[in-house]
Structure formats: structure tokens, C-alpha cells
Amino acid sequence: MKSLVLAEKPSVAREIARVLGCREQHKHYLEGPNYIVTWALGHLIELKMPEHYNPAYKTWRLEDLPIIPEKMGLNVIRQTSHQFRAIETLAKRPDIKNCIIATDAGREGELVARWILQKIGWKKPLLRLWISSQTDQAIRDGFQHLKPGKQFERLYESAVCRAEADWLIGLNVTRALTTKYNEPLSAGRVQTPTLAMMIEREKEIQSFQPVPYWTIHANVGSVAAVWERNGERRIFSKQLAEQLYEKLKNKQATVISVERKTKKEPQPLPYDLTELQRDANKRFGFSAKKTLSILQRLYEQHKLVTYPRTDSRYLTTDMENTMLERLEAMKSGYVDEIAPLLKNKGKVVARRVFDNEKVTDHHAIIPTEERLDVGKLSADERKLYDLIARRFLALFYPACEYETVHIVFHIEGEAFIARETRVVNAGFRRVLEKQEEKMTFPTFTKGQTVSVMLEKKEALTEPPLRYSEADLLSQMEKYGLGTPATRADIIERLVETETVERKNGRFYPTPKGKQLIELVNEELKSPQLTARWEKELEAIARGNGDPKTFLQNIRKQTERLVAEIKQSERTYRAHNLTGSMCPECGSFLKERSTKEGRLLVCSNMACRFRKRKDPKLSNRRCPQCKKRMEIHEGKVGVYFQCRPCNVIEKAEEQKKAKLGHKERALLKKYSAENDSFGTSLGDLLKQVLEKKE
């Protein structure tokens, strides 16, 4: 008898199969003497869409809302149904004794596997592989300590509640807004309050009125002191600033007090996903999505870091005996930093990092015992790994010791304060940042009289900055919006739906986003609502919440939200209407910015007309001016055009075999999507490839 192992992705399945000795390869699975390893392709099963309950729901109508099925059903995703059928066939084999869930060890991974097994009608015993890294040793240990499937029933219930809540709220509110205002308007329990935060910040910026203020500085040699009264350094009265300056200039200062304190800064804890995304954004400008993507490769492909989607920054006590092995694995890339640590047998100085109570499903992100080969990493992978590695190494170094100096000078009874910090022992900061030599702070004694150079400066108060990705992640974490695993997707969703746009690393609400936040329900804008939901979902996962009550409340809320939208008297005005008319229905065209470039789409939602506004440039050069030619599709097939020279060349002429990668990709895309041209583009592509060969 054999165990059926269900992984989340083919790449992970292959690694598990290799470790388990499954060498017999098949299209949909790998087989060995004791195990059959198969895989999902992400989600193979989804909640049924409205049209699966009633074909009439395929057409969006406001009068059909809210759509609240009595019992939510599951549907096999058509595009990946072949893999589901393969798993279903394997599950029915008589030599299968049990199933081992080996999907990602988290709420979403549990849902991926359980929905597949539910759709199959699985009745045999169920076990769970729960590991935090993809190294061979971790996989072997995990299979030696498999957990009973029942232990994760509550986690599965929490995942179902989250999925159904997002379906009920997101789908109904999105359909209601879209049909009410004849514009694709997307809303949801996490994306809407996140958008609301950005809109609120934009209002603060737009309503901000700069106010002039003055500061007075006293330079005592290399020491800079600033005038201060009741903790305020700014003077908002020009007259007062000038009076003070005139009163104090050319006067000497007396040292009133000199206070020195020695302090210790503790080692920072290792990264959780959100803080790593924040730091990667600040240091390298990575989006949250990009950081997670790179991190996933370091985890799955290179096996150099532990499980990415964690919200904990602590380690379990039983991990202490693995520290030396992890350092040994890293030393090829950090020779100088690790050499002294190996002499100390890899002893962790920051003992507070080991705390079982503060580790939830997964511990912090740290390097694994896999040998580091920096040469195999891309530039971005090296950058991210270095952040994780150095934060981990900081645990083995002592705390940073520094001295603070606080000096108060008096000039004609007015206080000037100088503050300085000097590092005494860099400790862990040696591995986190370059240490710069600072000038020695001059020695002052109480009662000493010194000469000063006075300077008056004028400035303006500044508005708050728009959110960067790091700022937004901090706010989402603060209010409990989403989870570490979902926040990146939420941010990307807001960009894709054109409610915000990225400019120079910061988020700007669009006219569409500003209008949407005025139309959406007040209740949905509140981060407190979603934070409460996340707490309830977490309670369900821990066995302290009631899934039935949670979903009953979600259904009631859905009815209330849709009713509010139906009764609303507000209006929406499309900001991106052009003067051009749709050639198919005569409605005005809208201009949209997408990943494919600028598109013109019909404002009539029943009409599917769309065309590219910006022509795609090809690798083909104009024979006259040598500039890159535009690539177009038409009734005669694909052709190239140079507008300044009025040169047109068909793709099937002029040595088609010289088409570049972009042309080939476009030809493939057109042949897949459009066969209404005079020449079959599929045949054309075939001819091109044959000529190339």
C-alpha cells in the first residue's frame, strides 16, 4: 500500500518525490515504492460563480442582487481540470491507503488541498506534512513526524470562512457598484479600507496650507545647538524670531548642564514577511509583490530561507541546536562575519528570540542549513538574501552600546540645546551597516563660557508624504488589514483596477479611486471592520470561534451593503471618456492604462470593443530612417509601419525569418485570439517558424 502525497506546485512535488525516492515519472505524478507524489497548480477548485447557480446571473443586473446561495458549492477550474482529473484517478487506486497533505503550511495551503479532497469525496485517512523549509533534511524530518489531519480542521474552517466572506461581500458589492454606475468598480473587505487610507492622506495633502517658521542655531565650534522653548524649536512669529536674533547675536553662551548617558540597543529580531517587504521597499524599491516573488524562489528553488508567509519574528526553543549548522552553511558568503561566531560554537546572544509562545503557525524567516552558493543567485535574490542573512547574524553579536550627550547652553536666559550620540561598541551593527568614524564630541563643563556663531533660518511646514509601499504595509499591519500572505496582492489589485497609481515609489489616488470611495459603503471603508473579521478568523483557526455564526453575520451584512448601494442617489462621472466613438455600438470610448499599454475600450459595458492606443514597436528597422517600426494587425494579417517615412511591410514579406521575440510573441497572441483576418495568423506563424528553421 502507498501514500498519496499532495503538494501545491510541481516544483515542490519534484523535490519531495526526490527525497522520498519516487523515480518513476508520469505526466501528472511521480511514483516510488511507498509514495505517489502529485500536485495542484495553485487552486484547482474554486467557489462556484453566480452563473453556476443560475445561468441568468451571467449577465450582471442590479435587480438580481444580492446573490447569496443557501449553500456555497465548489467548481473545478476549467483551465487546470486535467490535473484535478489526474488526482481524482490516483485517489481511486486500490493501493492508496491514505493522503498526506503537503501544500504550503498555512491557511491558504490548507484550503487548496481540502477543496480538492472534498470535491473528490475523499474518505480514507488524512495526514499533514507541516514544515517551515524545503531542505532535504526538513522534508525527511517532516515525513517522520506527520500530524493527523484532524489537527488542522479548524484552520480549514477559517480558510473557508475567509473565502466565502470575500465572495459574498466582494462579489455582491462589486456587481452592485458596477451595474449601478455603469463603470467597472471593484470593492472588497480589505482593498476598500486600504484605498480609503490613501484617499484620506490625499485629502490631508490637498488641504494643507504651508506656514512659515524660523529656527535659531548657535554653532559652538563643531557643536550645533538649537534654540528651544517648552520642547518647541520652531518660531511661528517673524517678529519674535527677529527680536530674539537681535537680542542674542554677538553674545556669549554659558554651559548650564552636561548630561552623558550610556545606553544599549538590543539586537533586532529576525524578519517576518511584512517587515521584510517594508525594508526591501525602502532599501531597493521592491514592491511587496516583487519581494514575495523573490522570497518564494529563495524558499522553493534555492532552499536557502525558511517559510516566507509568516507573521512571527521569533524562533522555537528546539531550533537552538540548529544554529551552528546554519552558520556553517552561510559562511562562504560571510567569511569575516561568521568566523568569530564559529569559534563561539554558534551561540546566540539575543536569547529573547527563542519564545515558543510567540511563534504562531511558522517561525521567523531565517537562513536554512542548505549550503549557500552566491553564484547561483540573481542580483535581486542576492539583495534579499543578504537582508535576511545579516538580520539573522545580528542575533549572534552583542547589543550595540552608545553614549548620548545632552548639553544645555544659555544665551541671555534663552536655552540652546545640543544632542549627540556616539557609538561605544557597535556590536550587532557591525553586520547590519557600515560603521562611520564620528568626530569626538568636545568636552564641556558646567559654568563654562563659550563664544558662539548665531544663525537664523526660515522654512515652511510641509504636508505629509503620500504613502510608499513600506508605509502602506505598516498601516495595513497596524489595522490588521489582510495577512502577510495577501497584502502584496491587495496593493497590486488597487493598481490594476486603476484606483491608485505608482509614481516615483509612492501611491497617488486616481480620479476613479476618489469617486469610488465616495460611492462605496461607509461600513466598508473602516479598517476596524476588517480587523475585527481577521480576529474572528484567527479565533476560528485556534478553535475559539464559531464559523456558522461568522458566516451568518456576513450574509446579513451583504444584504445591508447591497441595499445601501441600491438606495444611493449619488452619481458617477467617467473621468477617462474620449471624443472617439466605438465603431461597433456608437458609444464613447474610454482610455485606460494597462500592463499592455494604453487601450481604448467601449464605455458600453455590454460591448466588448477594445483596441490599443499606443502602437507596439517591433525590432524591425525602417529601411529608410532605420528607426523601429510599429507592428499592427489588420485584415491582411500582421504588418509593420514607419509613419514618418510612410513605409509599410507585410509580415509575410521581407524575410519573415528575421522576426524578433516581440513579433513572435504578438503573432502567437493574435493567432490564439483572432482568426477573423484574411490570412490565418496561425498559418502565418507556422510559415515564419519554418523559414527560421
Same topology for domains 164-206+468-567 and 212-266+400-460, yes or no? no
If one looks up domain 2-145 in CATH, what number appears? 3.40.50.140
Q: 3-state SS string over 228-274?
A: CECCECCECCHHHHHHHHHHHCCCCEEEEEEEEEEEEECCCCCECHH
Topology adopted by domain 615-658:
N-terminal domain of TfIIb (2.20.25)
376 class by beta-carbon count within 10 Å (0-12 exposed, 13-18 middle, 19+ buried)? exposed
Write out the three cell numbers for 328. 556553517
Is the pLDDT confidence value at 599 over 70? Answer: yes
What would the pLDDT profile of 115-160 be if each residue is shown by its tens digit?
Answer: 999 999 999 999 999 998 889 999 999 999 999 999 999 999 999 9
pLDDT confidence of 663, banded at 50, 70, 90?
A: low
Strands (E), 156-237: 212-220, 223-227
Amino acid at 148: P
DSSP for 615-632 reads: PEEEEEEPTTT-PEEEEE
DSSP state of 47: E
Beta-bridge mates of residue 594: 597
Lookup: cell for 447: 559654568
pLDDT at site 629 = 82
**What pLDDT sits at residue 601?**
81
- In the predicted structure, residue 236 carries a pLDDT above the cut 70: yes
CB-based burial of residue 250 (10 Å sphere; 0-12 exposed, 13-18 middle, 19+ buried)?
exposed
What are the backbone dihedrals phi and psi of residue 482, each rounded to the nearest 5 degrees, phi first? 75, -170
Q: Is 37 helix (H, G, I), strand (E, B) or coil?
A: strand
pLDDT, tens digit, 9 for 90 and up, residues 254-273 = 999 999 999 999 999 999 99
- Taking alpha carbons only, the member of 309, 193, 188, 282 closest to residue 471 is 282
As given in the structure block, the three cell numbers for residue 386 are 543578504
Decide if domain 273-396 falls under CATH 3.30.365.10.
no
Q: What is the 3-state secondary structure (H, E, C) of 85-117?
A: HHHHHHHCCCCEEEEEEECCCCHHHHHHHHHHH
pLDDT in tens, 327-372: 999 999 999 999 999 999 999 999 999 999 898 778 999 999 999 9
Residue 529 in grid coordinates: 471592520
Q: How far is CA 674 from CA 54, 310, 432, 670, in A?
A: 30, 44, 55, 5
Residues 164-206+468-567: name the CATH superfamily.
Answer: Topoisomerase I, domain 2 (1.10.460.10)
CB contact set of 653 (below 8 Å; sequence gap of 6+) = none
| pLDDT, mean of residues 562-586 | 85
Q: Tell me the pLDDT tens digit for each residue of 418-437.
A: 999 989 999 999 999 877 76
If residue 391 lies in a helix (H) or strand (E), which one and from where to where?
helix 379-393
pLDDT above 90 (res 172):
yes
Q: Give the whole-angstrom CA distance, residue 560 versus residue 215.
A: 54
In the predicted model, what is the mean pLDDT of the chain? 89
Nearest to 388 by CA among 363, 406, 356, 351: 363
State residue 532's pLDDT score.
86
What does the pLDDT read at residue 598? Answer: 73
Between 103 and 652, residue with greater pLDDT: 103
Confidence of residue 626 (pLDDT cuts 50, 70, 90): confident
Q: Are 589 and 531 in contact (CB under 8 A)?
A: no
Euclidean distance between the first and the last CA atom of the chain, given in angstroms as a whole number:
50
C-alpha cell at 237: 512669529
Which positions are annotated as active-site residues? 307
How is the chain split into domains, by residue range? Answer: 2-145, 164-206+468-567, 212-266+400-460, 273-396, 576-614, 615-658
Tell me which DSSP letter residue 237 carries: -
Q: What pLDDT was estimated at residue 681?
A: 44
pLDDT tens track for 42-97 = 899 999 999 999 999 999 999 999 999 999 999 999 999 999 999 999 999 999 99
Q: Which CATH superfamily is domain 212-266+400-460 in?
A: Topoisomerase I, domain 3 (2.70.20.10)
Q: Give the whole-angstrom CA distance, residue 536 versus residue 557.
A: 15
